[in-house]
C-alpha cells in the first residue's frame, strides 16, 4: 500500500515537471522562436523515468523514425531542428496506436496556426511580407499532450 502511494506521488510530480517545462517551452517558442536543448533534455529524462517499464521496441522505432525523417525535413528548411527534437522526444511518451492520430492533429493545428498568422499579417500589414516563422511548438505540444493522455488512460484500463 505504501509503495503504491509513493509511486503515485512521484508520477504526479514528474507529470507536473513535464507540464511546467512544456509551458515554459511554449512561451519561449512564441516569444523568441527558440526551443532550448536543456528543456528538451529535461523532457526526455522525465519521460524516460515515467515510462521506464513501458517503453518497447515500437516506441524506440517511432522515435528513430521521427528523428530520421525530421533530419530530412530540417535539411530542406521546412521546419526548425528544435521542433524535430521536441517531437522526437515527446514521441517516446506516445503509444504507437495513437501516434498517427497525434501527427494528423499536429498537422491540422499547425495549418490553422500558420493560416491565422498569415491572415493576421495580411490584414494588419498588407504591404509587408511575414518572415517570422510559425511557433510550431504550439501544435506539437497540444497534439503530443493529447497523445500522452490517450496513452496514459489506455494503459490504465
The residue ranges of every structural domain in the chain are: 2-156
Tell if the pTM clears 0.75, that is, is over it: yes
Q: Is 31 exposed, middle or buried (0-12, 13-18, 19+ CB in 10 A)?
A: exposed
Count each helix (H run) and each strand (E run) in the chain, helices first: 6, 0
Give the CA count within 13 Å in the CB-facing half-sphere of 7.
Answer: 8
Walk along the chain (157 residues) and give the pLDDT tens digit of each residue: 455 555 568 888 999 999 999 999 999 999 999 999 999 999 999 999 988 877 678 899 999 999 999 999 999 988 899 999 999 999 999 999 999 999 999 999 999 999 999 999 999 988 888 878 899 999 999 999 999 999 989 876 6
Q: How far apart are CA 35 and CA 29, in angstroms?
A: 6
Q: How far apart are CA 138 and CA 125, in angstroms?
A: 24
**For residues 43 and 14, is the Cβ–Cβ distance under 8 A?**
no
Amino acid at each position: 500500500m505504501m509503495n503504491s502511494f509513493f509511486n503515485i506521488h512521484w508520477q504526479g510530480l514528474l507529470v507536473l515537471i513535464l507540464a511546467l517545462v512544456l509551458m515554459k517551452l511554449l512561451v519561449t517558442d512564441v516569444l523568441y522562436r527558440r526551443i532550448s536543448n536543456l528543456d528538451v533534455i529535461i523532457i526526455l529524462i522525465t519521460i524516460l523515468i515515467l515510462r521506464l517499464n513501458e517503453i518497447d521496441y515500437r516506441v524506440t522505432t517511432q522515435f528513430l523514425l521521427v528523428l530520421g525523417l525530421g533530419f530530412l525535413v530540417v535539411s530542406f528548411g521546412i521546419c526548425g531542428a528544435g521542433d524535430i527534437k521536441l517531437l522526437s522526444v515527446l514521441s517516446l511518451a506516445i503509444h504507437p496506436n495513437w501516434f498517427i492520430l497525434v501527427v494528423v492533429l499536429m498537422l491540422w493545428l499547425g495549418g490553422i496556426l500558420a493560416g491565422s498568422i498569415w491572415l493576421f499579417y495580411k490584414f494588419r500589414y498588407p504591404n509587408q511580407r511575414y518572415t517570422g516563422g510559425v511557433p510550431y511548438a504550439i501544435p506539437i505540444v497540444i497534439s503530443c499532450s493529447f497523445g500522452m493522455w490517450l496513452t496514459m488512460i489506455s494503459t490504465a484500463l
